[in-house]
Amino acid sequence: MHGRIGYMTKLLTLLCLSASLLVGCGGDTPPTKPPPISPALAWSAHLSGERLTSVWADPNGDAFAVGQEGVIYRQSSGIWTAEAIGSAATFYDIWGSSDQDVYAIGSLGLENILLHNGGHGWERMSGVPDVSYGAIWGAGSKDLFVVSIERPETPVILHYDGAMWTQTTAPTAEYLLAIWGSSGSDVFAVGTGGAILHYDGHSWSPMSSPTSNELSRVWGSSPSDVYAVGSGGTIVHYDGMSWSNMNSPTAATLLSVWGTSPTNVYSVGDHGTVLHFDGATWSPVTTGMTTILLRLTGRSEHDVILVGTQATIGHFDGATWTQTMAPTTQVLQGIAGAPESEDLYAVGYEGTILHFTGSGWETMVSGVRDDLDDVWVASNSRVFAVGGDKILEFNGLSWSSSAVVTATQPAIKGVWGSSQGDVFAVGSSIDSTIILHNNGTGWTRMNAPAGYVDSPEAVWGASPTDVFAVGGLGRVLHYDGVSWTVMPQAATGTRLFSVWGTSGDDVYAVGNGAIIHYDGTSWSPVTVQGNPYPGALFGVWGSSKSDVFAVGRDGVILHYNGSSWIYMQGFTTKALTSIWGRSAQDVFAVGVSGLVLHYAQSAL
Strands (E), 176-292: 176-183, 186-191, 196-199, 204-206, 215-222, 225-230, 235-238, 243-245, 254-261, 264-269, 274-277, 282-284
Query: What value does the mean pLDDT of the chain take?
Result: 90
Predicted pLDDT at 497: 96
Predicted pLDDT at 153: 65
Does pLDDT of 421 surpass 60?
Answer: yes
Which pLDDT tens digit goes with each residue over 502-543? 999 999 999 998 999 999 999 999 989 877 678 899 999 999
Predicted pLDDT at 92: 96
Is residue 271 within 8 Å of 290, Cβ to Cβ?
Answer: yes
Which pLDDT tens digit goes with each residue over 449-458? 988 878 999 9
Does pLDDT of 28 surpass 90?
Answer: no
The three state secondary structure string of 324-355 is ECCCCCCCEEEEEECCCCCCEEEEEHHHEEEE
pTM score of the predicted model:
0.82
- At 516, the amino acid letter reads I
Confidence at 74, pLDDT banded by 50, 70, 90: very high
Confidence at 228, pLDDT banded by 50, 70, 90: very high
Question: What percent of the chain clears pLDDT 70, i.e. is strictly above it?
Answer: 92
Is residue 385 within 8 Å of 366, Cβ to Cβ?
Answer: yes
Quick check: do 7-27+47-324 and 332-601 share a fold? yes
Is residue 207 within 8 Å of 197, Cβ to Cβ?
Answer: yes
Predicted pLDDT at 31: 30
What gap in Å lies between CA 182 and CA 590, rounded to an integer?
43
Q: What is the mean pLDDT of residues 132-155?
A: 88
In degrees and rounded to multiples of 5, residue 11 shows phi and psi of -60, -50
Does domain 7-27+47-324 match CATH 2.130.10.10?
yes
CATH match for 332-601 among 3.10.350.10, 3.30.70.120, 2.130.10.10, 2.40.110.20: 2.130.10.10
Does pLDDT of 38 surpass 60?
Answer: no
Does pLDDT of 4 surpass 80?
Answer: no
Strands (E), 420-495: 422-428, 433-438, 443-445, 456-463, 466-471, 476-479, 484-486
Does pLDDT of 408 surpass 50?
Answer: yes
What gap in Å lies between CA 154 and CA 169, rounded to an integer?
7
Domain limits of the chain? 7-27+47-324, 332-601
Collapsed DSSP state (helix, strand, coil) of residue 262: coil
Question: What percent of the chain clears pLDDT 90, i.e. is strictly above it?
Answer: 74
Which pLDDT tens digit goes with each residue over 161-214? 999 999 999 999 899 999 999 999 999 999 999 999 999 999 999 999 999 999
Is residue 551 within 8 Å of 557, Cβ to Cβ?
Answer: yes
Across the beta sheet with 557-560, the strand order is: 537-544, 547-552, 557-560, 565-567
Confidence at 431, pLDDT banded by 50, 70, 90: confident
